[in-house]
A = this chain, B = another copy of it.
Amino acid sequence: MTTPKSTGNTSCHTHCTHGHSHDSARAPGEPRDLRDHLRRESLRVTGPRQAILAVLQEHPHPLTNKEIFAALRPGQCDLATVYRSLHLLEDMGLVTRFDFGDGVARFEIIRGDARGHHHHLVCTSCATIVELEDCLAREWEERITRDSGFKEVTHKLEFFGLCPTCQDAKPGTRRQPQKRATRRRGPSISV
Protein backbone atom coordinates (compact mmCIF):
# COMPACT_ATOMS: atom_id res chain seq x y z
CA MET A 1 0.00 0.00 0.00
CA THR A 2 2.25 2.74 1.22
CA THR A 3 5.06 2.21 -1.27
CA PRO A 4 7.07 5.40 -1.03
CA LYS A 5 8.82 4.45 -4.24
CA SER A 6 6.81 6.63 -6.52
CA THR A 7 8.29 9.87 -5.30
CA GLY A 8 11.63 10.14 -7.01
CA ASN A 9 14.33 12.74 -6.90
CA THR A 10 16.55 13.66 -9.83
CA SER A 11 15.83 17.30 -10.45
CA CYS A 12 16.62 17.65 -14.11
CA HIS A 13 14.84 20.78 -15.22
CA THR A 14 15.62 20.50 -18.87
CA HIS A 15 15.77 24.17 -19.67
CA CYS A 16 15.15 27.50 -18.11
CA THR A 17 14.22 29.76 -20.96
CA HIS A 18 12.51 32.51 -19.04
CA GLY A 19 13.31 35.21 -16.55
CA HIS A 20 12.68 33.09 -13.48
CA SER A 21 11.40 36.01 -11.46
CA HIS A 22 12.03 35.37 -7.80
CA ASP A 23 9.41 37.73 -6.46
CA SER A 24 6.82 35.77 -4.51
CA ALA A 25 3.83 37.89 -5.52
CA ARG A 26 1.17 35.76 -3.81
CA ALA A 27 1.74 32.14 -4.66
CA PRO A 28 -1.60 30.41 -5.31
CA GLY A 29 -0.92 27.48 -3.01
CA GLU A 30 -0.18 29.41 0.18
CA PRO A 31 -2.25 28.95 3.36
CA ARG A 32 -3.55 32.50 3.16
CA ASP A 33 -4.71 31.82 -0.33
CA LEU A 34 -6.67 28.78 0.82
CA ARG A 35 -8.53 30.89 3.39
CA ASP A 36 -9.33 33.55 0.82
CA HIS A 37 -10.63 31.11 -1.73
CA LEU A 38 -12.79 29.28 0.78
CA ARG A 39 -14.18 32.45 2.35
CA ARG A 40 -15.00 33.84 -1.05
CA GLU A 41 -17.30 30.92 -1.72
CA SER A 42 -18.58 30.63 1.83
CA LEU A 43 -16.88 27.32 2.37
CA ARG A 44 -15.24 26.25 5.60
CA VAL A 45 -11.57 26.37 6.49
CA THR A 46 -11.22 22.98 8.11
CA GLY A 47 -8.34 21.07 9.61
CA PRO A 48 -8.25 18.37 6.93
CA ARG A 49 -8.16 20.89 4.13
CA GLN A 50 -5.30 22.80 5.67
CA ALA A 51 -3.39 19.64 6.48
CA ILE A 52 -3.81 18.27 2.98
CA LEU A 53 -2.63 21.47 1.37
CA ALA A 54 0.31 21.49 3.77
CA VAL A 55 1.33 18.01 2.65
CA LEU A 56 1.20 19.12 -0.96
CA GLN A 57 3.34 22.13 -0.14
CA GLU A 58 6.06 19.98 1.37
CA HIS A 59 6.23 17.67 -1.63
CA PRO A 60 7.65 18.85 -4.94
CA HIS A 61 6.23 15.90 -6.88
CA PRO A 62 2.79 14.65 -7.81
CA LEU A 63 1.17 12.64 -5.02
CA THR A 64 -1.68 10.17 -5.16
CA ASN A 65 -4.63 10.40 -2.81
CA LYS A 66 -3.27 7.52 -0.81
CA GLU A 67 0.17 9.02 -0.56
CA ILE A 68 -1.30 12.23 0.72
CA PHE A 69 -3.43 10.27 3.13
CA ALA A 70 -0.37 8.37 4.35
CA ALA A 71 1.54 11.60 4.88
CA LEU A 72 -1.10 12.91 7.25
CA ARG A 73 -1.03 12.24 10.97
CA PRO A 74 -2.85 8.95 11.58
CA GLY A 75 -6.49 9.61 12.21
CA GLN A 76 -6.15 13.17 11.04
CA CYS A 77 -8.79 12.64 8.42
CA ASP A 78 -10.55 10.02 6.36
CA LEU A 79 -9.42 8.88 2.93
CA ALA A 80 -12.77 9.90 1.50
CA THR A 81 -12.13 13.40 2.78
CA VAL A 82 -8.81 13.43 0.97
CA TYR A 83 -10.59 12.62 -2.27
CA ARG A 84 -13.22 15.26 -1.65
CA SER A 85 -10.72 17.89 -0.62
CA LEU A 86 -8.57 17.35 -3.67
CA HIS A 87 -11.55 17.82 -5.93
CA LEU A 88 -12.23 21.02 -4.10
CA LEU A 89 -8.65 22.26 -4.31
CA GLU A 90 -8.58 21.38 -7.97
CA ASP A 91 -11.78 23.29 -8.64
CA MET A 92 -10.40 26.27 -6.78
CA GLY A 93 -7.32 26.20 -8.96
CA LEU A 94 -4.87 25.60 -6.13
CA VAL A 95 -3.87 22.14 -7.29
CA THR A 96 -3.31 20.39 -10.59
CA ARG A 97 -4.38 16.86 -11.37
CA PHE A 98 -1.98 14.70 -13.33
CA ASP A 99 -2.70 11.45 -15.04
CA PHE A 100 0.14 9.07 -15.88
CA GLY A 101 -2.14 6.54 -17.46
CA ASP A 102 -1.93 4.00 -14.67
CA GLY A 103 -5.43 4.67 -13.44
CA VAL A 104 -4.34 6.66 -10.39
CA ALA A 105 -4.77 10.40 -10.06
CA ARG A 106 -1.85 12.47 -8.83
CA PHE A 107 -1.86 16.02 -7.54
CA GLU A 108 0.63 18.80 -7.30
CA ILE A 109 0.28 22.19 -5.74
CA ILE A 110 0.35 25.16 -8.08
CA ARG A 111 3.21 27.41 -7.18
CA GLY A 112 3.43 31.04 -8.07
CA ASP A 113 7.09 31.06 -8.98
CA ALA A 114 6.90 30.16 -12.65
CA ARG A 115 6.09 26.58 -11.75
CA GLY A 116 2.64 26.71 -13.22
CA HIS A 117 1.61 24.49 -16.09
CA HIS A 118 4.35 21.94 -16.71
CA HIS A 119 4.94 18.30 -17.56
CA HIS A 120 6.71 15.25 -16.20
CA LEU A 121 9.13 12.55 -17.21
CA VAL A 122 8.16 9.30 -15.55
CA CYS A 123 10.24 6.15 -15.28
CA THR A 124 8.19 3.24 -16.57
CA SER A 125 10.01 0.87 -14.27
CA CYS A 126 10.29 2.52 -10.85
CA ALA A 127 7.92 5.46 -11.33
CA THR A 128 10.54 8.04 -10.45
CA ILE A 129 9.27 11.40 -11.55
CA VAL A 130 11.27 14.23 -13.06
CA GLU A 131 9.73 17.66 -13.33
CA LEU A 132 10.11 19.31 -16.71
CA GLU A 133 10.39 23.04 -16.94
CA ASP A 134 7.53 24.99 -18.31
CA CYS A 135 5.19 24.00 -21.06
CA LEU A 136 6.00 22.97 -24.57
CA ALA A 137 2.70 22.91 -26.35
CA ARG A 138 1.12 26.32 -25.96
CA GLU A 139 1.56 27.34 -29.56
CA TRP A 140 -0.02 24.10 -30.69
CA GLU A 141 -3.08 24.88 -28.66
CA GLU A 142 -3.45 28.08 -30.63
CA ARG A 143 -2.96 26.39 -33.95
CA ILE A 144 -5.44 23.67 -33.10
CA THR A 145 -7.95 26.21 -31.83
CA ARG A 146 -7.75 27.99 -35.16
CA ASP A 147 -7.94 24.89 -37.32
CA SER A 148 -10.57 22.90 -35.45
CA GLY A 149 -13.19 25.37 -34.32
CA PHE A 150 -12.87 24.10 -30.77
CA LYS A 151 -12.61 26.55 -27.90
CA GLU A 152 -10.89 26.52 -24.52
CA VAL A 153 -8.32 24.12 -25.89
CA THR A 154 -6.03 22.57 -23.31
CA HIS A 155 -3.75 19.56 -23.35
CA LYS A 156 -2.18 16.79 -21.35
CA LEU A 157 1.38 15.83 -22.10
CA GLU A 158 3.61 13.47 -20.17
CA PHE A 159 6.83 11.75 -21.09
CA PHE A 160 7.88 8.24 -20.13
CA GLY A 161 11.15 6.38 -20.21
CA LEU A 162 13.69 4.31 -18.33
CA CYS A 163 15.54 6.25 -15.64
CA PRO A 164 19.32 5.83 -15.32
CA THR A 165 18.99 3.53 -12.32
CA CYS A 166 16.55 1.20 -13.97
CA GLN A 167 18.62 1.02 -17.14
CA ASP A 168 21.19 -1.07 -15.26
CA ALA A 169 18.79 -3.34 -13.40
CA LYS A 170 17.25 -4.29 -16.72
CA PRO A 171 15.61 -7.72 -16.49
CA GLY A 172 16.75 -9.08 -19.85
CA THR A 173 14.56 -8.44 -22.86
CA ARG A 174 11.11 -7.24 -22.03
CA ARG A 175 7.84 -7.76 -23.84
CA GLN A 176 7.12 -11.43 -23.63
CA PRO A 177 4.11 -12.10 -25.87
CA GLN A 178 1.61 -13.47 -23.40
CA LYS A 179 2.22 -14.95 -19.99
CA ARG A 180 3.86 -11.87 -18.56
CA ALA A 181 3.62 -11.09 -14.87
CA THR A 182 0.38 -9.84 -13.39
CA ARG A 183 -1.23 -6.75 -14.77
CA ARG A 184 -2.46 -5.56 -11.41
CA ARG A 185 -1.08 -2.22 -10.36
CA GLY A 186 2.52 -2.29 -9.26
CA PRO A 187 5.10 0.45 -8.78
CA SER A 188 5.83 0.57 -12.47
CA ILE A 189 3.90 2.40 -15.15
CA SER A 190 3.00 0.69 -18.39
CA VAL A 191 2.93 2.90 -21.44
Contacts and interface: CB of A to CB of B under 8 A. Distances in A.
Interface residues of A, number: 49
A87 interface: yes
Given A14-B143, A99-B99, A177-B92, A150 B137 contact: no
A108 to B, nearest CB: 15
Nearest to A160: B154
Contacts of A10: 148
Interface stretch (A19-27, A64-72, A162-170): A162-170
Q: For chain A, what secondary structure do more than half of its interface residues adopt (helix, strand, loop), or is it mixed?
A: mixed
Contact of A123 (B124, B144, B150): B150
Interface in A1-58: 10, 12, 14-15, 41, 43
A157 interface: yes
Contact of A177 (B43, B101, B130, B164): B43
Nearest to A133: B147
Contact of A156 (B91, B158, B162): B158
**Lowest 8 A-B CB distances belong to which pairs?**
A150-B161, A153-B161, A99-B101, A41-B177, A14-B147, A157-B157, A149-B164, A155-B159
